Amino acid sequence: MTKDFDHIVIGAGISGLGAAHFSARRGLATLVLEAAPRVGGCINTHEFQGLGGFWTEAGSHTCFNSYGNLLTIMDDLGLTSRILPKAKVGYRLWQDGERRSIVSALHFLEAAVSLPRLFTTPKQGQRVADYYGRVLGRRNYRDLLRHAFQAVICQAADDYPAEALFRRKPRRKDVIKAFTFADGLAAIPAAIAGQERLQVRTGQRITAIVPDQGGWRVVADGASEVTCDYLTLAVPPDAAARLLPTGFDGARHAIGAIAMAEIETLLLAFRGADLQLPALAGLIAVDGPFYSAVSRDFLPAGTHRGFAFHFRPGALCRDDQVTVACRALGIDPGQIAAQAQVHNRLPALRAGHTAVVGRIDSAMAGSRLAITGNWFLGVSIEDALTRSRRETDRLFGAEPSRLP
């Protein structure tokens, strides 16, 4: 019996939208179902109401010319010509109530002695704390790197798998190194979702996936159903484990080992004239209630400046978060022009994760069901899209390589 779609993707974060794009450009009838009212997932450009379109990033903050799969999608959609360079501004440490330089926490002699180990020490299977403590020195890890890595992944870094952090990728020399868009990174999911060759439905909470004559029947709230030949789950691990249909118990068991980290993100906007702080990329907190504060200064807006403070979950109430953030920026809370709060979730990967992924892949081999997300290779946009590309190739056969 003919199915409603060739391919259905559940989840409209960048992983799911990437999987949908890779199948739609093969000419397959593709549908994306998303529970939230918007697409993009962790790519979330927040526009402050009443501030003339001023925005700041609430989740992912940057893209690089090493993001090959992302750039092929951008090429397809005509986005590459719209990119803007990010201004070269630096990070500062926030420690003991002061903003300090990064180099103030660096032990140069220890780094010089340890650095040769970078070329002989394998990452595979290593904890971040063990690997970087060895190749750059224990004190450097304790005083600087631990906090810098926590700022990147917005969670404790010690037990994170070293191979999932800063994977090497080839760079596109025709594209600027670090870039954004005039309307923020949300331009990317909006363009993918807006193309005519795929459909996207938001507000679709999926309750069950049922095998259906060689394909799948997807059931949503309200008992609405849609069928497909191939299916991709692009949801967090806890949701994937819940939605996996009968017959995938091995994958469900393996996925159960992957936890999630919760992040409370406070977004603040100020009039530029009110904030005396010099332009900076952001703050890396050393043992504070927030992991990092990322600035909008990489793309100056003139009238306003914005910051996203990524707080540890449950550490402070909203008012106390505002107090801490304003103290770090050197401004009175009464001068806040606008604020918002966003809840983010990221996978809490642990050393040995590669073996977990191997068990998932073994359990899914040969099926018409794929699983993708930012919890396979790493949390970056390109890590997520690399997984989506591999899974789409597994379902439908590999396309000719389009990477340089």
CATH code of the domain covering residue 18: 3.50.50.60
Same domain, 210 and 183: yes
Same domain, 131 and 188: no
Q: Which residue segment(s) compose the domain that 146 sits in?
A: 106-164
What pLDDT does 36 receive? 95
Asked if residue 187 is part of any domain, the answer here is yes
Asked if residue 291 is part of any domain, the answer here is no
- CB–CB of 348/259 below 8 Å? yes
Same domain, 26 and 152: no
Q: Which of 164, 187, 213 is the last residue of a domain?
A: 164
Same domain, 160 and 208: no
Q: Give the whole-number percent of the chain exceeding pLDDT 90.
A: 89
Q: Which of 402, 33, 377, 17 is nearest to 188 (CA)?
A: 17
What pLDDT does 402 receive? 54
Helix (H/G/I), strand (E/B), else coil: 351: coil
Q: Give the whole-number percent of the chain exceeding pLDDT 70.
A: 99
User: Which amino acid would we find at residue 334?
Assistant: G
Task: Give per-residue pLDDT as tens, 130-143.
Answer: 999 999 999 999 99
Asked if residue 273 is part of any domain, the answer here is no
Asked if residue 191 is part of any domain, the answer here is yes
The overall average pLDDT reported for the chain is 94
Same domain, 239 and 366: yes
Task: Give per-residue pLDDT as tens, 269-298.
Answer: 999 999 999 999 999 999 889 999 999 999
* Residue 245 DSSP class: P
Domains of the chain: total: 2
Same domain, 145 and 250: no
Same domain, 157 and 9: no
Same domain, 193 and 249: yes
Tell me how far apart the alpha carbons of residues 166 and 178 are, in angstroms, rounded to a whole number. 15
Tell how strand 98-100 and strand 282-285 pair up.
unpaired
* Residue 398 DSSP class: P
Same domain, 191 and 252: yes
Question: What mean pLDDT do residues 196-206 have?
Answer: 95
> Is the pLDDT score of 356 beyond 90?
yes
Helix (H/G/I), strand (E/B), else coil: 83: coil
Asked if residue 368 is part of any domain, the answer here is yes
Q: Which of 129, 164, 199 is the last residue of a domain?
A: 164
- CB–CB of 138/172 below 8 Å? no
Tell me how far apart the alpha carbons of residues 98 and 207 are, in angstroms, rounded to a whole number. 49
Q: Which of 164, 190, 205 is the last residue of a domain?
A: 164
Asked if residue 268 is part of any domain, the answer here is no
Same domain, 183 and 252: yes
Residue 237 or 170, more confident: 237
Asked if residue 342 is part of any domain, the answer here is no
- CB–CB of 153/165 below 8 Å? yes
> Is the pLDDT score of 37 beyond 80?
yes
Question: CA quadruple 173, 179, 182, 184: dihedral positive or negative?
Answer: positive
* Residue 20 DSSP class: H
* Residue 164 DSSP class: G
Asked if residue 333 is part of any domain, the answer here is no
Token digits for 44? 């979330």
| Residue appearing with tokens 């043992």 | 287
Tell me how far apart the alpha carbons of residues 322 and 331 are, in angstroms, rounded to a whole number. 11
Around Cβ 355, how many Cβ atoms within 10 Å? 12
Same domain, 156 and 193: no
H or E element at residue 327 = helix 318-329
In Å, the largest CA–CA distance within the chain is: 70
Same domain, 245 and 392: yes
